[in-house]
Amino acid sequence: MSDNKDTGARDTKQRIVTAGTELFRRRGYAGTGMKQIAEAAGAPFGSIYHFFPGGKAQLGEEVIRTSGAVYLGLVAELLDPHEDRAAATGDFFTAAAGTLSDLDFADPCPIATVALEVASTNEQLRLATSEIFDSWIDGLAAYYAAGGIPEPAARETASSVIALLEGAFMLGRAARSTAPVLAAGRAAAAIVRAVLADE
């Protein structure tokens, strides 16, 4: 009985985090209320505060850390099969452009959405978004380093690629077009190719 109760509690908490992720991504952190999250999760309103007694900020941090780890895993899956680091980078942006289109130009990245809103007003969430972005840069830098780019160039390259991606998502949403993401992908691939040529 206890196992069923624990599983049910985990399921409810996961539904809340999933609903928060989707709503923060589409409506932003400020534009999403806790009642909306409870309704989207199919969970009693009080259960949110049971799992997240720190309220919306604690839930926001959980969303950032959970979705950030998932996205890092997806990036690794897309890049790992490729030996050509520059081509892999370009292909990743092409996949990202497809995702943006599939989402009807809603922001595919809840981390960036929250970071843009709260970086200057909520230190708890700013730190969480900063740590996730750092983990992405670390992961991408390790991938580039394994392909022959030494540090610190590998980390600088990774940081540039992430910045290009997040900026391209913003421009693509504004224009309702994948063109900025595809253009950024060509630029990112060229950066990687140039750094590799210098080594």
- Taking the alpha carbons at both ends of the chain, their separation in whole angstroms is 61
Report d(CA 41, CA 20) in Å as an integer: 8
Residue 162 has pLDDT above 50, yes or no: yes
* Stretch 169-195: mean pLDDT: 96
Report d(CA 3, CA 15) in Å as an integer: 18
Report d(CA 86, CA 144) in Å as an integer: 9
Strands (DSSP E) along the chain, which ranges? none
Residues 6+ apart with CB under 8 A from 91: 78, 82
Q: If you count DSSP H runs as helices and E runs as strands, how many of each does the chain have, helices first?
A: 9, 0
For 62-87, how does the pLDDT look when each residue is reduced to its tens digit (9 = 90+)?
999 998 888 888 787 878 777 899 99
Contact criterion met (CB below 8 Å) for 192 and 161? yes
pLDDT at 70: 86
* Stretch 6-25: mean pLDDT: 84
Residues 6+ apart with CB under 8 A from 59: 16, 17, 20, 34, 37, 48, 52
pLDDT at 130: 93
pTM for this structure?
Answer: 0.84
Contact criterion met (CB below 8 Å) for 158 and 134? no
Residue 1 has pLDDT above 50, yes or no: no
| Top-confidence residue, 149 or 7 | 149
Report d(CA 168, CA 181) in Å as an integer: 5
Residues 6+ apart with CB under 8 A from 31: none
pLDDT at 116: 84
Q: How confident is the model at residue 5 (pLDDT cuts 50, 70, 90)?
A: low
pLDDT at 110: 77
Instruction: Give the C-alpha distances (Å, rounded to integers) separating 78 from 55, 89, 147, 172, 180.
Output: 35, 9, 15, 21, 20
**What is the overall mean pLDDT for the chain?**
89
Q: How confident is the model at residue 4 (pLDDT cuts 50, 70, 90)?
A: low
Q: How confident is the model at residue 42 (pLDDT cuts 50, 70, 90)?
A: very high
Class of domain 60-198: mainly alpha
* Stretch 130-152: mean pLDDT: 94
